[in-house]
Structure 1
């Protein structure tokens, strides 16, 4: 049996405000092409299908089209929910969807109820462990004293192993789980799942099965031969510079036979630029990144006015902007010291100078004085009315 392991689609997510639905649709369409080209039997999606618990109608449409393509390409689908998904919404029509080859495992009650498929060597049991919020899951699993992610995942896997022990010896096993396993490397785009304690769980929790398809971390990672993260199909932060990919997992009569990594296409690449605004706008060396998503750090000694608009005149996909003046900014004083003995206009002028790196012009100072005088009159009128 051949499996394709993917996760963390986060359909509906934006990238620093940029809409990613078209990019997500394109890369998910490529998964269907892989299914057909590589004769994949089952697609595993280990959580975070959507980026939010209540996805937009357009996000639902993109995800639905992706699932339809994968099914038409010939694969069964096994999906569990992640910490970004609403497990109840994602699994709402699980019983009906199963008849069409879409197997949703989003409830605690279904943890030890595997999707049973067969190949020429016999049965394969695929168990889905959704993201387990420790405290609610602890109660639902009947754990009185044990707490934390390790406890609830340990109980979930105990149930999986118990069910597996009651099946025929030739049954091979696969687990989908959405968790942070020790040894995994996070990026800037994952939402923390630490709730009242350590969010990581040891890999030994998942002992006893042939393959574990992990979700949650966005970079492809191998923690052990049978224990892997596929990562997200798109980059969701500028820290994710490694190529995106999926794992192609082969099972034979003995269990795990081979795992191969297949890189995914990149709809739009990422890059970072640093320098003075005028230099970035004029340097021909930057032409190659004109169509990339860009994170730009400006080093002008004075913060440029309308910098993002000017950048997008040359780099239409500039999405993130920082300002770090050459030589560094002077250390900030405590607020009480910064305002002590100063008039209102001096405080405002110093604030502007700290933010922009330059003093306000004479015209700007006249406007500030007028604004402060108007505010003072308004306060006086208010006090008179109160009296």
Structure 2
């Protein structure tokens, strides 16, 4: 079962053949967001999902939110359709009651202990307006830190949430953001700009690339100026490096940060790509975008709708591309990508090394 994938499976990969990257599942031994906090109201339950596995999020009348398998142990009816009473969730069918540990505390029509069966519980935490679960080995949960989530809570920044669903494997999303050489795709939104690669860093669990952007012609869109700073067409002259864009995958999360020429952080994006189905060929992204407030903060408030529309249009162009990549993978029967950019090649190695080959994974034929 996917949820029971172990570290030993990953460790064995060094001794096994290489696998198609799109058949490498996420390692479940990390904290994954599955819902926004505001979606799970006090005294209510909410249905979520991780890699095809149903999860019920329950916010009791007092105390923190908790997560259970979204199936009653009796007739497998979703617990998320049940009734929250005090600190327990009651199945909507026969009223079996489960506590935050998944123990059945009441079978109302039998009125004796030890009759009902438990359901699985997941370690559960809240941070930055997100609800995280730990879908892997619960014994590891306390030793794995929750990720930093942009600049949520920092009054010097304004933050927006986004959570699109995509019909593609999560690895396509990591590759798309890491590789800033695809700006031609966004020419209608951003005009004529080019990315300049400034260098990279890498380690056992991370890969980072740094870029600057130069305008080659045309007027700069207002929303782009809010993100990348004010750039002008220098009519063929080399544009100086004024902002540095750093994209980093620290498995399994991804960030994009922009620092100005003084080294100040002016934009901070954090995102996590959560697998939806058991085959992990669909993804629920959870993202937080924080933008540094200018001296006159109301200016950012006024421009916020424009910025939202701009980032949405950029993302929709990326969505179409990654879903076309997934479609090609299906039609061709595997990953036929010919990667030449060293940073993305290193990223692919990171994702393969840190993930877990699924049951359908077949060794890649070399040569």
Structure 2 length as normaliser, TM-score? 0.23
Higher helix content, 1 or 2: 1
Report which of the two structures shows the higher radius of gyration computed on alpha carbons: 1
Q: Pick 1 or 2: higher relative contact order, CA cutoff 8 A, min separation 6.
A: 2
